[in-house]
Structure 1
């Protein structure tokens, strides 16, 4: 129904206008008494998909990637679709408008998106207000944190720490974003030496916050897919040595290899189907580099249960989707959950954790 009716209408709109319209509908649905809970019950994943990581229960390995609900306006509605966790943000200490429009583009022929949003968000204070107003927490909510555009890299750590300080009591995890291509200079923070220092600073701040509310929050790091293999290995090693609790692989890419759309020349980060194989290969490499000791969240081009299963087998314990939701609609999450359960049953695996990394060992 989405592909036949809703998508043609949405795709007549500018991509960002369609995004805001969809978010508005989901925000309104989140406020309908009882509806999110009923919808979650209908979309409840199979027990075989459940696992515990970082001391948190995940009913499904399928999560919402950062960037779709930056300001956490529709958490109940997204959780109702069957997501096992949600990542909101990227949030910065101060509100910022992001880059000039147009800044979001559909590449129809490639089932991809290009964005150069630039961390547009309402700021850490507004995000805290929204998350603290939630009457229930339907799924773990992770907060993706970054620096403001006008903060120089030598002062970037201060912005990440401000986000932790502002949101520690309402986040279920923090994701350090050093890999967006749309904030000038940000990717330089992925360099191994500086990255290790940043991770340690964030971990120390999280531990200080734990003194007040006794919650030990996991800290993950999101890396880009465009690093040279030696740099990727060094960054993964730095993240692990610093004591981070997990990796997210990967962010959007600047590569334009193999694209067909006339929009391919737009500046920004590419996401969607063109990243499927590349991100899966990087998940496998990260799993190998860490010896399977560091949980990995696989992101990039997950459109089908087979795509999701391949990333799990490559070494991801959790997965995230974004672009595929634009092309496949809200039923994607339920279809992924059902398909993964069927694949586990086909292979005689009792729990999703049993297939993590089997193709990388």
Structure 2
């Protein structure tokens, strides 16, 4: 029942985005309101003292502007894709919980009488109640099998979400295969990467709408200046989004991966020393192989996030320059006839920036590496701030 309900929700999400045109896959009114208010704070900054005790200053207005930029960033993230990612994370949590329960059941099975399923457990109606009646090895094997079946069903649901998400991303101009979506969703930065891709698609739609609004207003100067101010804030949003991603990779992800690799190398070195000292060669050789597999997964993880960081960094350099140009242009816009053309040029700029930071195309070579990748992600999240 859970599986069929989830599949329906995923299909509904995808149907919504697949039938939406590029102007309606995000909350336009909310985004416009946030961008307009952010422009007002930007205008206020120039009227305030740089630093003042117990009074509003430039830092206060800048903080308010950045808060609205962060809120606009969330609004521009395509809601249906956000829902898909949320469903995917919920399934990951269900699977993790189920694996924990299976480990506990296997422990109980070790000391249980070696007999078949008891009559009481066989006819107890739910798995939850069966956990209270289980007493024999057969009982525990029955429960373990049921939970393994749950994991298989949830993994199929995850595969469905990956495919639907790839199709939904493609519908807004972001080309990723289901396998590539799988790789990103398995990483600690996957939500950020997919979110940035969706936000860029929304920004391109917003700038197109602003250009049309400017034209429809008859190039009225007050409206034109307001609309270009919103484009200027979008430039600031892109810079902030990209810088946050780069900082997350450099400060939170790569140092931890480096430490994980150091630990794996130390484990390998110790195992080799113990073999030379007469330790159990079979067990220690297995430990060495396990740590070598972990190091392979760490190398893949490091390469993946580093490639994406470098793509974003390359895009950031241009984004920062374009943001400065946008601020200068906003401050000097006087002829309303210039503005719709400037906004359309901005749309082209956002398209070029988006192309510069397209997600890296890397997929898992085998199931072992994928499983190690998943374990590393769990360790990274546990070690995160």
Which category describes the TM-score, using the shorter chain as reference length?
under 0.3
TM-score (norm 1): 0.24
Larger radius of gyration: 2
Q: Which has the higher contact order (CA 8 A, sep 6+)?
A: 2
- Hey, which of these two has a bigger chunk of helix by percent? 2
